[in-house]
Amino acid sequence: MKLLTHNMLTSHVKGVTKGYPLLIKATEVKVNQLDFNPQFVSRMIPKLEWGALVQAAGDLGYRQDLPGELVVDYEQNEEFLKKVHRVLLEVEVMEGSLKCPESGREFPITKGIPNMLLNEDEA
């Protein structure tokens, strides 16, 4: 699971209103090489929940001094974009779980795939 995906995932357990962001507990993390595309990164940033991304990156140990708030003119800052690229697309959680911040329900991650299926009573 890449952190870009994590940025979009939310808990949908019945009754939960604050199911975002999911807390990552990782037992295995991998870094995969993926071609850097600056346009992709700079256009993706406005679509992200920046705080959640930085938090998740930090939890995995890959914060790389990304700022807590977005800086101005990041589009031209290639070094910054490269760091964001790494954290969004190259760092992958292979084993672990995602935890709903409100209900505590854990969704397991196996071979990089989070299983978000709910049981009958939780839906």
Binding residues for other proteins (CB under 8 A): 1-2, 4-5, 8-12, 14-17, 20, 32-35, 37, 39-41, 43-44, 47, 49, 89-90, 107, 111-118, 123
In whole angstroms, the minimum distance from the beta carbon of 33 to other proteins comes to 4
Tokens of 109: 């991650």
In the bound state with other proteins, the residue whose beta carbon lies nearer, of 59 and 116, is 116
Q: What separation in angstroms does the CA of 56 have from each of 20, 90, 122?
A: 12, 14, 25
In whole angstroms, the minimum distance from the beta carbon of 39 to other proteins comes to 5
